[in-house]
Structure 1
Amino acid sequence: MPPSTSDAPLAGRRILVVEDVYFVADDIAAALRGAGAIVVGPAPNGPAALSLMASERLDAAVLDINLHDEAVYPVAEALRARGTPFVFATGYDRCSIPASYRGVPLWEKPFDSAALIRSLPALIDAVGGRRDRPTA
């Protein structure tokens, strides 16, 4: 019997994970898979994330801001251009994020992955449940 949406609130949703710390990326991916999501990545850096974006359909993304001393903002801009919702999962506090990203949901590490999972369906639905397509 397939899981109910209450058991798998992200069933079939394709979520990009961009995180440079392997164990954190693995924990986020496991939590997402447990909620029924299809995890794209994890990508450890911006170029890897952009490469995945070029070939994958995405419903949302979870982004760490600092990727080995490289900011994730080019990935965030590419997601915005595609209309793909995203959240920041980071050790940074809101005041250190550029003003143009202050409206992006922020999950400060360490964060409750269950709360993140509960928030993603509403974030996806807020953009009309739009599933983007790779740019060719």
Structure 2
Amino acid sequence: MKGRHVLVVEDELLILLEIEDTLSNLGAEVVGPASHVDAALHLATEASLDAAILDVNIKGGNTFAVADVLAERGIPFVFCTGYSAWVIEERHRDRPRLTKPYTAKELERQVLHLLPGLSR
């Protein structure tokens, strides 16, 4: 549990705080957070990661390039968006998705799915 690193890509402060609180309660460590595509790409490429939580639309565009890097590295991730599934690019439509607004419990379930072995 300790030492599990989760990249958080989110540009809305209240949502970010909820994500950080949920990850902390699970014993995971937040990498980032990144609120801009360039920073997210850098972390996705360079950081030691076990999983990621990606808001689809952030400052600088969307996070599909970040998702590409994570997929290439074999790092599981979940998309978070207020939009319907159609907004997710075809190559990533099979990835897990949380629909905003989501509850802390829904986020927790998704993180536990991404990182087996974590527990409350």
TM-score normalised by L of structure 2:
0.86
Q: Does 1:116 align with 2:101?
A: no
Q: What SS does structure 2 have at the residue aligned with 1:103?
A: coil
Q: Does 1:99 align with 2:119?
A: no
CA contact (8 A) 1:11 1:35 kept: no
Deviation at residue 53 of structure 1 after TM alignment: 2.9
Q: Does 1:34 align with 2:36?
A: no
CA contact (8 A) 1:87 1:104 kept: yes
After superposition, give the CA deviation of every residue in 1:67-122 in whole Å (9 maximum; x if it has no partner). 13601111000101100000011111112222211111110111012222122233
Q: What SS does structure 2 have at the residue aligned with 1:12?
A: coil
TM-score normalised by L of structure 1:
0.77
**Deviating 4+ runs (over 6 angstroms):** none
Consecutive unaligned residues in structure 1, runs of 5 or more: 1-9, 130-136
RMSD: 1.8
Task: Figure out how many residues of one structure are paired with residues of the other and give that number.
Answer: 117
Q: What SS does structure 2 have at the residue aligned with 1:57?
A: coil
Q: Indicate the percent of aligned positions where both proteins have the same amino acid.
A: 41
Which has more radius of gyration? 1
